[in-house]
Chain A
């Protein structure tokens, strides 16, 4: 399984990510998810979210999740970008792409990956 992980202060460049997409002719499902910062947090208006990561551990925990994904589903490729630092309202903080032979496994794997990320990957947010 091809895997790419980027944890970055830079804005997520969707166009560049789409241009660099690669998959074989056995793949029938390419899905991607964009997580965007909402304008309110627990009912209060916010301007941005500050993300903080324990980067070395976050990379390791993502690796473990990718290992598990590979065991559970026939995924050909997973790419994930997570912003850290200040992310303004309406800007994406998370971009995930999963490529698989069929949509069922692609959707299931993507949903699982994001759920597990929120459970074990040491990244925190603070509304500002």
Chain B
């Protein structure tokens, strides 16, 4: 399956891009995706504990099972106000 991944805030600097696509085996989780992205973008490794992840417009935990076509977002802790 294929998913799209968007990066926000300084994650765009860490990865050098605003978005990308990733191919994963069926049944993959958000954690699987993160591990794969960490290989492509090694600067993400240090951010693993603080990274927030969303599928569509909802926050999801690392064990969330991905579906083909999902729109994933990765970003650091939020700072509005």
Contacts and interface: CB of A to CB of B under 8 A. Distances in A.
Interface residues of A, number: 24
Contact of A93 (B59, B73, B78, B81): B81
Contacts, number: 58
Interface of A: 35, 51-54, 56-58, 60-61, 82, 93-94, 114, 117-126
Contact of B78 (A56, A114, A119): A119
Contacts of A53: 80
Given A57-B57, A57-B73, A61-B57, A118 B9 contact: no
B81 A124 contact: no
Interface in B1-39: 6, 8-10
Nearest to A7: B80
Interface of B: 6, 8-10, 52, 54, 56-59, 73, 75-76, 78-81
Nearest to B76: A124
Contacts of A51: 80
